[in-house]
A and B are shown apart, each in its own frame.
Chain A
Amino acid sequence: MKIDLNDWVSSPQELKSLLMGVRSYAHWYAQTTVKMKVTKDMSQTAPAVSQAVTDLLNTWFSQTPPSQTGLDELLALLQKFESTAPRITITLAAAAPESLKKQLTNWCRQNIDPNLLVDYRFSSTILGGMVIRHRSHVYDWSFKRQIMANRANFPEVLRRV
C-alpha cells in the first residue's frame, strides 16, 4: 500500500497526532483481535480517534482488510516519515489562521521540499513578518528586526519629511 503522507500532515503536531492515533488504534486492534479469538465477542468498540486518523485508516485499508500487519506497516511508514521529513518552524506575529498556514505550507512544499513539515508559532514581539527556524539556522524577516536594523535611518527619513 502506498499513500502520500503529505496530503495528511503538514506539521509535526499533526504527524504526532496521527502517529498517536494510529498507535492507539493498532494497540486496540491487537487486543481486540486476541479477545475476539478467545471470546468470539464481536461487540468491541473502537477507540475514539480523530477524523484525520479515521480518514487515514480508511484510505490505508481501502483495498485490503484491516490487519495487524497493515497497521504495523502504517506505523512504520509514519515513524519513518517523522524521522526523515525536514521540518521548519515559522513564527508569526499572531496566531495564524488556517488559510494562511495552508498558503505558506503549500508554498514551502512547492518551492523547498515536498515532505516539509511546518510548525507554526506566534510571538507578538516580532510585530509582523515572520521568523523561520530550520535546525539551528534562523531567518529573521520580522518587522522588529527590520525596524531595529534600520533605526539609524530614522533621523534621515524624518529630515526629509
Chain B
Amino acid sequence: MTGTIFLQIFLFIDVFIIGGLAVIALQHAVAHFKQPKPLANDAQVPIVADPLPQTVKENLVHASQTQFQAVLNQAAGSLQQDLKTTSDNINNLVLRLASEIVSNELERYREELSKLHNQAVGDLSGIKQQMVAHETELKAKVAQEYEAEKQRLIKQIDTKLADAVSSFLLETLKHNVDLGSQSTYLIDTLEEHKAEFAEEVTVED
C-alpha cells in the first residue's frame, strides 16, 4: 500500500517536470516563429541610416538562425535524453515496485498458505486425535462386550456341563446303591449332625 502511494507521488512529480519543460519548449518555439508586429506609427520613427550592410545583416541573421537552431536541437536532444532517462528510471522503478509488490503478495500468499496449512494440520491433528480416542473407546467397548459374552458363554457351558454330569451321576448311581458300604458313612453323617439332630428331637418332644 505504501509502495503504491510512493509510486503515485513520484509519477505526479515526473509529470509536473515534464509539463514545465514542455511549456518552456513551446514558448521558445512560439517566440522563434512569431513575426514581430509592425509598429503603428512608422512614420513617427525617425529613419536611421542602417550602419550595417545588407550582406552582414543577412549573415548575422543566418548565423543567429543557425545558432538558435543548434541551441534548439541541443535542448530538444537534452529533453529527449532526459525523457528517456526518466522513462527508464520510471520503468525500472515500476519494475522494481512491481517486483516488490509481487514479492510482497507472494510472501503474503505464502504466509496465508502457511497459516492455512498450519490450521489444516492442526485440524487434521485434532481429527486424528479424536479418531484415535474414538478408536480406543470402541476397542475398549468391544473388548468389554467380548469379555461379557465370553463370561456368559462360559457360565452357560458350566451350567450345561454341571447339569449333564449331575444327570449322568443320578442315572448311574441309581442302580448301584450298596447300603452295606454306606453304613460307616451313615453313622459318620449322624455323628456329624448329632448336636442339631438331638436338639431338634429333644426340644420338640
Contacts and interface: CB of A to CB of B under 8 A. Distances in A.
A128 B201 CA distance: 23
A113 B179 contact: no
Contacts of B157: 155
Nearest to A152: B162
A117 to B, nearest CB: 11
A12 to B, nearest CB: 15
Contacts of A127: 169-170, 173-174, 177
B165 interface: yes
Contacts of A104: 186-187, 190
Nearest to B195: A111
B194 interface: yes
B173 A134 contact: no
B176 to A, nearest CB: 9
Nearest to B166: A151
Q: How large is the interface on A (under 10, 10 to 19, 20 to 34, 35 or more residues)?
A: 35 or more
A107 B205 contact: no
A100 B166 CA distance: 28
A111 B162 contact: no
Contacts of A92: 179, 186
A49 interface: no
Contact of B183 (A94, A100, A125, A134): A100
A17 to B, nearest CB: 23
Contact of B173 (A113, A128, A139, A152): A128
Nearest to A137: B200
Given A154-B166, A155-B162, A139 B193 contact: yes
B41 interface: no
8 contacts: A86-B204, A113-B205, A125-B174, A127-B170, A135-B204, A141-B193, A154-B165, A158-B161
- A-B pairs with lowest CB-CB distance, top 6: A155-B158, A151-B162, A93-B177, A154-B162, A127-B173, A86-B205
Interface of B: 157-158, 161-163, 165-166, 169-170, 173-175, 177, 179-180, 182-183, 185-187, 189-190, 193-194, 197-198, 200-202, 204-205
